[in-house]
Amino acid sequence: MENSRSSESTFRVTPLTRVRRQPKRGSYEKGDAFAILDEGLVASVGFAHEGQPLVLPMAYSRDAERLILHAATSSRFGHALANGARLCVTVTLLDGIVLARSAMHHSLNYRSVVVLGSAVELTTRVEKLAALAALVDHVSPGRSAECRPPNELELRATRVFAVALEEVSVKRRSGDPCDDADDLELPYWAGVIPLEQRAMVPIADTTHAPRADVPSTASGYTRCKS
C-alpha cells in the first residue's frame, strides 16, 4: 500500500493538511510541492519545546519523497527529533507585492509548502554521508564532489534526519489584485510589484585566497525554476 501510494501524483489530504482559508489557493500535487521545495533554500522548522512552539530557519534538502534535515548532536532540536517530536517544515517563496484598491485586498504573491510529520534518524555512515551530501548539493548542485567530505569527528557531531513527504500541502497566490467590483473605479493604482531573489557576483574568501577558480555553478548561480 505504501509503495502504491508513493507512486501517485497527489498527496492524500488529511484534516490537518487540508487548506481551509482560500481553498482555491491550495494544491496537493506532488509536482507543485517538489518544485517549491527544490527552489527554496531555507525552511522554517516548527517544533514544540516544553509546550512552546519554536520556529527556526534551517537548511534542508529533498531526497525523492523525503525531506533531509540535520542538527548538532547535542542540540535541543536534535533531541526533539530523535524523540519523535511532531514537526512542521514550511518553505515560502515570495513572488510579489499585491497593491489593491482596498486595504483588505492587499496581499502577497507567494508559493509555500507545509510538511507535517515526525523525523526518522539516519544512523548508518553511508546514509549520513549521502544525506549530508544532499544538503550541500541542494544549495549548489554537484558541490558535494567539489569539497572535502565530512570526517569522522564531524559525522559524530551531526545527527541527520528524514521526514517522509506524506502530510503535505501547497498554498500559493499569483497574479492580479482581486478588488471588489464596487472598488474598481476608485482613483488608486492597483497591481503587482514582482519580487525576485537574485544571485550577485561571487566573492572569494577574503581571509584566505581559494586555490581554485570560481566554479560556473557559482558564477552563473540560479535556483531551479519549474
Coil/strand/helix, residue 213: coil
By the 10 Å C-beta count (0-12 exposed, 13-18 middle, 19+ buried), 200 is classed as exposed
**CA neighbours closer than 13 Å in the CB half-sphere of residue 93:** 23
Q: How far is the CB of 2 from a second copy (least distance, A)?
A: 22
**Is the CB of 8 or the CB of 152 nearer to a second copy?**
152
Given candidates 31, 127, 147, 156, which one binds a second copy under the rule CB under 8 A? 147
Task: Report how far residue 226's alpha carbon sits from residue 218's, in angstroms, rounded to the nearest whole number.
Answer: 20
Part in contact with a second copy (CB under 8 A); list of ranges 25-33, 61-69, 120-128, 144-152: 144-152
Please identify which residue in the block is written with the cell numbers 572535502. Answer: 148
Part in contact with a second copy (CB under 8 A); list of ranges 1-9, 23-31, 119-127, 204-212: 204-212
Q: How far is the CB of 213 from a second copy (least distance, A)?
A: 6
Q: How far is the CB of 3 from a second copy (least distance, A)?
A: 26
Asked whether position 109 contacts a second copy by CB under 8 A, the answer is no
* Direct distance between the N- and C-terminal alpha carbons of the chain, in angstroms, rounded to an integer: 29
Given candidates 10, 39, 75, 164, which one binds a second copy under the rule CB under 8 A? 75
CA-nearest of 79, 105, 121, 123 to 175 is: 105
